[in-house]
Amino acid sequence: MPRVITHIDRADLDLVSAFADVGVATTHEAQGRTGLLHHRLTPRQQATAIAGTALTCEVPPGDNWMIHVALEQAQAGDILVVSPTSPCDDGYFGDLLATSAAARGVRGLIIDAGVRDIRTLRDMGFPVWSKAISAQGTVKETVANVQLPIVCAGQLVSPGDVIVADDDGVCVVPRASAAEVLQVARERAAAEEEKRLRYAAGELSLDLNPALRSDLLRKGLLFERQ
Amino acid sequence: MPRVITHIDRADLDLVSAFADVGVATTHEAQGRTGLLHHRLTPRQQATAIAGTALTCEVPPGDNWMIHVALEQAQAGDILVVSPTSPCDDGYFGDLLATSAAARGVRGLIIDAGVRDIRTLRDMGFPVWSKAISAQGTVKETVANVQLPIVCAGQLVSPGDVIVADDDGVCVVPRASAAEVLQVARERAAAEEEKRLRYAAGELSLDLNPALRSDLLRKGLLFERQ
Amino acid sequence: MPRVITHIDRADLDLVSAFADVGVATTHEAQGRTGLLHHRLTPRQQATAIAGTALTCEVPPGDNWMIHVALEQAQAGDILVVSPTSPCDDGYFGDLLATSAAARGVRGLIIDAGVRDIRTLRDMGFPVWSKAISAQGTVKETVANVQLPIVCAGQLVSPGDVIVADDDGVCVVPRASAAEVLQVARERAAAEEEKRLRYAAGELSLDLNPALRSDLLRKGLLFERQ
Amino acid sequence: MPRVITHIDRADLDLVSAFADVGVATTHEAQGRTGLLHHRLTPRQQATAIAGTALTCEVPPGDNWMIHVALEQAQAGDILVVSPTSPCDDGYFGDLLATSAAARGVRGLIIDAGVRDIRTLRDMGFPVWSKAISAQGTVKETVANVQLPIVCAGQLVSPGDVIVADDDGVCVVPRASAAEVLQVARERAAAEEEKRLRYAAGELSLDLNPALRSDLLRKGLLFERQ
Amino acid sequence: MPRVITHIDRADLDLVSAFADVGVATTHEAQGRTGLLHHRLTPRQQATAIAGTALTCEVPPGDNWMIHVALEQAQAGDILVVSPTSPCDDGYFGDLLATSAAARGVRGLIIDAGVRDIRTLRDMGFPVWSKAISAQGTVKETVANVQLPIVCAGQLVSPGDVIVADDDGVCVVPRASAAEVLQVARERAAAEEEKRLRYAAGELSLDLNPALRSDLLRKGLLFERQ
Amino acid sequence: MPRVITHIDRADLDLVSAFADVGVATTHEAQGRTGLLHHRLTPRQQATAIAGTALTCEVPPGDNWMIHVALEQAQAGDILVVSPTSPCDDGYFGDLLATSAAARGVRGLIIDAGVRDIRTLRDMGFPVWSKAISAQGTVKETVANVQLPIVCAGQLVSPGDVIVADDDGVCVVPRASAAEVLQVARERAAAEEEKRLRYAAGELSLDLNPALRSDLLRKGLLFERQ
């Protein structure tokens, strides 16, 4: 039978929040190029980055009942992660649910389906990453799991995991490895700053990293004048 | 043979125009969750809502001749609704046709195909909902129906029906039921305002509507501490 | 074996740059409705038009090594044109490569795949037309061709060809016909200005071009009052 | 409220059945290239052609209750035409429903969604045209319309219309024009037989129809030796 | 770092093999409509059903090295389950790998990517469910995980889980619940046989299950003569 | 202006025909993993392999006139390669054109669009690789190029090039390199036969090619018992 798990362990919120500055691309790289949700989840606003703890919610096709149930489980700092049990683009979430979610401290919505009232969501500043924008209404007839591990857009998300979302998409970091990944991500970001300065000055990546160039010849790449 | 119907009945324009404030999601709900065009028709601008009477136009693939014919049938308050006779993404409509349409009082374009000159269309403030943006040019060789009922993006649209379009997509309301749907939509919008205040204050939908909660148990949803 | 061609002929840069004002739709029409890349290549910014000479680069799926190689071949005025050897949406290009490209005078990126760090790219003003936005990281393991003719999004692009890109998409003009196409495009643009004024005044295209109307009857289109 | 219409007029069954021999492509041409459902509806068997009267059925996403309701309305010679109220690929129909449908004289299924138990359906000889094969189960919670006009895969289908389906796809013919369309279709088929013999003997279409060739020159086609 | 787990626990092979008779649809229903892989994984042969234990394998885009590594871990009764780390349709698997897999007792391949040499695979009787058929060759450059839990076509698959695949698609059953699910599935199949006989005799589902009919009225469905 | 090139050089027909035995996958590998058309071109029959010389034909969307023109240019051993000037799935080609093509020695059709009368085409044994099956009819209004280089499904095809097509898809080999590619392909096929025997006997690829195994460790792959 479908279940709602009412007490789950969340990653530490200060730690979690720090991922917003690091961003999706760097986080994804820092954990060995894993955890990226499929890019069909598109940001529905620009220049917005958030990080929070996953509040997971399964929904049947065309049925948003469980989102109402999930909001009762929300804590400040959560990000609502919704996945349909079979592919669906209906408009599961609109301005009323966003109002309720924001009032309970939810930082945003990740949904492998559709949302509606998108203009109001933008005006409210409630950020959304979704597969579709669709006004198609839903019913409240069938129960499903809340706060259990789900697959969302190709990635396993467990309740309390770290969710990072920005203009590049959405990434999940398992709760247990959050501190380590953040550390690696910050080191990577620092190293990139140094490279950026040299690139901006006109240096080539092939010269910053000579192995990049010598390996080309070893692999047989030919340089010709035509 | 293809035909152009030169005199059609339109829904009352004051009534029609009022739908722009109600919006697509509420209109769709108010008529029993019907009438929504497929969300592949994407708004090509933001924060724009229009309503008007359908001016329907069939086009062969890669052939925009009939749009020229349709514009002669336009009246102030119309919205041009274009559907290809087989799927096509070509750029049927650009800044010149938009100039002509706007000059004749057409409020916008709904097209299950492509448009071009999109930057100019945005600068002009001529709103478009389309399946694609494509510069691909079209020919003028084959005739088709204008102002007859068409299927556009999965919905039947008859000439003179109400078209509502905003950031959430596009909805059609049959002319005969426009007044009734508007009434229901306004009542629904008013009821939502009340809910919004309570949600903003932190109340849960499960508490506003106790049946939502009791039905969960009847359906067998389990609440566990894990 | 894969090759890098180190000296190629480019279209004249003054000539090339003039295409940015003409734009994609008019250029495409001026060369007989040819040269348009598939509209899956979407502009990742708004109200931006560029023109430049093609710097062509093949990449294996999930491997961006050759973009590093291509940047060494860049000259001021180039536009980087990247095509994967099999379909891939990974994030081949981000803010570091954009910094390097901009430092070397590259005007923008056309890629039939994904990019990342899109917020930074927008902030930098480095324009991109891509099939996807994806943070998915890539490797540097396999060599491929640089500055050889490639098919990108359905069009053949040779090194040194003219690339025009704006809000409508991307068009390629062969180097040899660039001067002639620009001339035709400018004449077309001038003729359109004249039409625009008459349309804005409420004239119909069917009246500006009487053949458009008489041919309708010849083709059998019927006008009925219903 | 959703409704079931219990008595509808059907096209004459002898007339209807004759369309199976004519086939989809010829029927579609005979009514002016109209009535073709989108080719995403794929035959799930080979070398099978059927024709019958439309038994129309709307279904909510993930909910097949109304198919059970529709079967009570079935008459011998009907073809069940099912369209979801929002896009869905779930497995609405399997071997049990097929057994029931066949027992009541239903000739096949047209569904803009998924089916399952496909191996058994093939073994039973119950023909299906569907958008997907999916084992995904459905619920029985929400009512919808049965035997009202629906849009299925882009075409308007009214109860009692003629449905023709074969290896090329599915076509609908309005009940009122069935006799006339059949007549035109048969004439077209006869004319094609004559052409086929001449083509098989090596004659060219450009020679059978000289206008095809002369028009080429008028349109400016050039013949060159290179 | 990527890892290969060399000793994993597998579900009991007799138990596993019994799922082939039960089939995908019934298994999926028996575990509460869960476990179904996305139907983009299409059977590449007809009338074939298999069940086995999951041998899981991640592959980078365009790189099939890890499949070679996975085959060393194969045991008789395994089914190879391959998922790319980012979406890819390349031809990862052909007749040589199939020969090797079959020699080691592998019962089939589930791959969310492409295969090639499909004619030979069919002739060999080596069954495949794949997202694509593509001859596109791959490299052997980058390592990834073997025999760790993966997400394949939207479902979590752990090494040693039960995989069931037939003409309806692919379903995964967690190892721990295999015995229980098989039991429920067999009961369900038996109950369906009884229904089938009554349907074949012309009885309606609405009459076999009266609640199906009475609930219709409670939900407000109207029956009208039009 | 559009042109028909009436005399083109073709690859030697004996040489060309030999590619049918080699097949698409081996040919593609033999020319450095190039030349594969996108796998959206699906074989519409099973267990069929052909090779021939490309007869290239552009078609406007929804317009098959140029196919009639192309057939006049056909020679025995040709394969008709058709590409629309903008994406289109209409049914450009049916049993009459197939009859004419077969009568003139054309070996099959490659089309990045739709075909119809597919049952008859199968019965005739006229092989087709297409993007779609669709009965949608086309017009004869607009001219386009015949026997000029075209891009078809992502590959450049020049008149007289070698086309190889089988159950794995379609590959193009430039005329100039046909003899060399055939030689490499045959050597590759012979080498594969040897491997196949060893795999069938249970040997592992990792043991046949020890570098495959040692490189794993160098790349950091870990083997663990869990």
CB F6 within 8 A of CB F147: yes
Q: Provide the pLDDT for residue C27.
A: 98
Among D63, D87, D139, beta carbon nearest to A89:
D87
Q: Give contacts of A119 with chain B, Cβ < 8 Å.
A: 46-47, 49, 166-168
Average pLDDT over residues E8-17: 95
Distance CA A156, CA A172 (A): 8
Q: Provide the pLDDT for residue C225.
A: 87
- Percentage of chain A beyond pLDDT 70 is 100
Residue from D51, D33, D11 nearest D184 by CA: D33
Q: Can you tell me whether residue C208 is helix, strand or coil?
A: helix
Q: Provide the pLDDT for residue A16.
A: 98
Q: Give contacts of A91 with chain B, Cβ < 8 Å.
A: 25, 168
Whether chain A has a CB inside 8 Å of the CB on E33: the answer is yes
Which residue(s) pair with A156 in the sheet? A151
Whether chain B has a CB inside 8 Å of the CB on F62: the answer is yes
Average pLDDT over residues C206-217: 90
Q: Find the closest chain E residue to F201 by CA distance.
A: E103
Residues C27-80 pLDDT 10s: 999 999 999 999 999 999 999 999 999 999 999 999 999 999 999 999 999 999
Whether chain C has a CB inside 8 Å of the CB on A50: the answer is no
Would the CB atoms of E72 and F206 count as touching at under 8 Å?
yes
Average pLDDT over residues E143-170: 98
The beta strand positions in F107-213, using DSSP E, are 109-115, 128-133, 150-152, 155-157, 162-166, 169-173
Whether chain A has a CB inside 8 Å of the CB on E151: the answer is yes
Q: Provide the pLDDT for residue C183.
A: 98
pLDDT at E84 over 80: yes
> Chain F: nearest CA to E90, how far in angstroms?
9
Whether chain B has a CB inside 8 Å of the CB on C79: the answer is no
Count of CB pairs separated by less than 8 Å, A with C: 110
Q: What angle do CA B136, B141, B144 make, to 5 degrees?
A: 100
- Average pLDDT of chain F? 97
CB A136 within 8 A of CB B37: no
Average pLDDT over residues B94-103: 98
Among B1, B86, B155, beta carbon nearest to D151:
B155
Would the CB atoms of B62 and F134 count as touching at under 8 Å?
no
CB B101 within 8 A of CB B75: no
Q: Provide the pLDDT for residue E17.
A: 98
- The DSSP H or E segment spanning C119 is helix C118-124
Assign C1 a pLDDT band (cuts: 50, 70, 90).
confident
Q: Which residues of chain D register pLDDT less than 70? A: none
Assign C212 a pLDDT band (cuts: 50, 70, 90).
confident
* Strand pairing category for B3-5 and C222-224: parallel
Would the CB atoms of E226 and D8 count as touching at under 8 Å?
yes
pLDDT at C226 over 80: no
Distance CA C108, CA C96 (A): 14
Residues E43-65 pLDDT 10s: 999 999 999 999 999 999 999 99
Would the CB atoms of E87 and A156 count as touching at under 8 Å?
no
Q: What angle do CA E1, E132, D129 make, to 5 degrees?
A: 140
Q: Provide the pLDDT for residue A210.
A: 86
Residue from F9, F41, F75 nearest F164 by CA: F41
> Of D199, D209, D215, which to mutate for an interface test with F (greatest number of F Cβ within 10 Å)?
D199
> Chain A: nearest CA to D104, how far in angstroms?
30
Other CB atoms within 10 A of residue F131 CB: 19
Among B205, B220, B224, beta carbon nearest to A100:
B205
Average pLDDT over residues E175-180: 97
Distance CA F39, CA F54 (A): 18
- Sign of the four-CA dihedral A171, A177, A179, A184: negative
| Chain F: partners with 3+ C-beta pairs within 8 Å | B, C, D, E
* Strand pairing category for E109-115 and E128-133: parallel
Q: Give contacts of C206 with chain B, Cβ < 8 Å.
A: 68-69, 72
Among C1, C32, C156, beta carbon nearest to F151:
C156
A160 is written with which tokens? 């309390």
Q: Provide the pLDDT for residue F223.
A: 96
Distance CA B119, CA C24 (A): 11
Would the CB atoms of F204 and E133 count as touching at under 8 Å?
no
Whether chain C has a CB inside 8 Å of the CB on B135: the answer is yes
Please report the residues numbered 202 through 221 in chain C whose beta carbons come closer than 8 angstroms to any beta carbon of chain A.
none
Q: Provide the pLDDT for residue B1.
A: 85
Rg of chain A over CA atoms, in angstroms? 20
Residue E37 gets which letter from DSSP? P
Residues B107-151 pLDDT 10s: 999 999 999 999 999 999 999 999 999 999 999 999 999 999 999
Other CB atoms within 10 A of residue E109 CB: 26
Q: Provide the pLDDT for residue F212.
A: 86
Q: Provide the pLDDT for residue A212.
A: 86
C183 CB contacts (<8 Å, ≥6 apart)?
Answer: none
Distance CA A59, CA C65 (A): 41
Other CB atoms within 10 A of residue B197 CB: 10
Encode chain F (226 residues) as per-residue pLDDT tens digits.
899 999 999 999 999 999 999 999 999 999 999 999 999 999 999 999 999 999 999 999 999 999 999 999 999 999 999 999 999 999 999 999 999 999 999 999 999 999 999 999 999 999 999 999 999 999 999 999 999 999 999 999 999 999 999 999 999 999 999 999 999 999 999 999 999 999 999 999 999 988 889 999 999 999 998 7
Q: Provide the pLDDT for residue F99.
A: 98
Would the CB atoms of C139 and E88 count as touching at under 8 Å?
no
Indicate the angle between helix axes A13-22 and A178-200, nearest 10 degrees.
Answer: 20
CB C81 within 8 A of CB C74: no
Distance CA A78, CA A99 (A): 15
Would the CB atoms of C86 and E86 count as touching at under 8 Å?
no
* Strand pairing category for A50-59 and A162-166: antiparallel
| Chain A: partners with 3+ C-beta pairs within 8 Å | B, C, D, E
Integer CA distances (angstroms), E226 to C24, D8, D122, D147, in order: 55, 8, 36, 10
Residue D3 gets which letter from DSSP? E
Which residue(s) pair with F163 in the sheet? F52, F172
Would the CB atoms of B25 and A137 count as touching at under 8 Å?
yes
Would the CB atoms of B151 and D151 count as touching at under 8 Å?
yes
Other CB atoms within 10 A of residue A62 CB: 31
| Chain C: partners with 3+ C-beta pairs within 8 Å | A, B, E, F
Would the CB atoms of E87 and A155 count as touching at under 8 Å?
no
Q: Provide the pLDDT for residue C142.
A: 97
Would the CB atoms of F103 and D200 count as touching at under 8 Å?
yes
Assign E210 a pLDDT band (cuts: 50, 70, 90).
confident
Q: Provide the pLDDT for residue D211.
A: 87
Assign A79 a pLDDT band (cuts: 50, 70, 90).
very high
Q: Can you tell me whether residue D82 is helix, strand or coil?
A: strand
